[in-house]
Amino acid sequence: MSKMGNYVVWCQEKGYTDAEGEVDSMNHVDEYMADRIKPLKAFKVDVKWTGTIASFQVEARNAEEAQELANKKLDMESNGLIHFETWEV
């Protein structure tokens, strides 16, 4: 399906149609773009506290999400002494 076709289907699913059930504007394109699932990328996350204390490879949509996932794997909250070093692989 084309990109425009995907937008039309999304609008119809959300109820963003006119009286005849047609999508007749691009008024919701910003919401559509924000609503789309971003593809996963691979990130390497080293968790450091006077040296590397753990290393994880996770799939995430961005570096911030990769750090959150690594923190969950540690099953702890950062107390400010831990440094996350993240890069896409």
Element (H, E) at 48: strand 41-48
How is residue 64 written in tokens?
């911030």
pLDDT in single tens digits along all 89 residues of the chain: 788 888 899 999 999 999 898 998 899 999 988 888 778 889 888 877 665 567 778 899 998 888 888 888 776 544 455 677 888 88
Give the dihedral of Cα atoms 73, 79, 85, 89; nearest 10 deg: 20
Query: Which residues, 6+ apart, have CB-to-CB distance to 89 below 8 Å?
Result: 42, 43, 44, 57
Q: Where do the structural domains in the chain lie, given as residue ranges?
A: 3-35, 41-88
Question: What is this structure's pTM?
Answer: 0.41
Q: Which long-range contacts (CB under 8 A, 24 or more apart) does 64-71 make?
A: 69/45, 70/45, 71/47
